[in-house]
Amino acid sequence: MTRDLLLLCGLWLCACGKDASSEPSEPVSPCGAHSGVVQRVLDGDTIELSDATKIRYLQVNTPEISHAADEVAECFGDDAKAFNESLVAGQTVTLEYDVGCTDRYGRTLAFVSVDGRMVNKLLVERGYGRVLIIEPNLKYADEFRALEAEAQAQSAGLWGACE
């Protein structure tokens, strides 16, 4: 009986195209994969993964950078991009999602972590960006507001450098 059961399981695995010794694949959320390699940092709050997925950080809005020769970056925009780049460029990042998966520009919305540190929080905590809460994505909203209040009180980053 046990031998027959093992044979049956082996046949079922072969029919499914899977090897009994294969590793289970990483689960995918409705919003996308749970990790990826950062190919490019677009600005302080947006990255592009190696599979071309654009990720917009949830709950943080960094100042804009210049995209053309005749544009002027907003105060602390280049600093925010450089800080983001120093954390994630070329790194494997972990992605955590909230309720809404994408924004109106088709970018995937996520909390991005590298080496166990959430980049979204670091940007707010160190004054590289302001809190931006857009419903229905309310996860960590209170924590982000508290980090922003502390950054303002300490005149961290843009809070001390920009009017």
- What CATH fold (topology level) applies to the domain 29-161? OB fold (Dihydrolipoamide Acetyltransferase, E2P) (2.40.50)
Question: With contact defined as beta carbons under 8 Å apart, do 119 and 113 qualify?
Answer: yes
Query: Per-residue pLDDT averaged across 64-78, rounded?
Result: 87
Q: Is the pLDDT of residue 161 over 70?
A: yes
pLDDT digits (tens, 9 = 90+) for 124-158: 999 999 999 999 999 999 999 999 999 999 999 99
Bridge partners, 38 (sequence order): 49
Q: What residue ranges do the domains of the chain occupy? A: 29-161
C-alpha 98/C-alpha 139 separation (Å) is 6
Output the pLDDT for position 29: 83
pLDDT digits (tens, 9 = 90+) for 28-44: 789 999 999 999 999 99
Q: Give catalytic residues, as residue numbers.
A: 56, 64, 107
**DSSP annotation of 145:** H
Q: Token pair of 63, please?
A: 């100042």
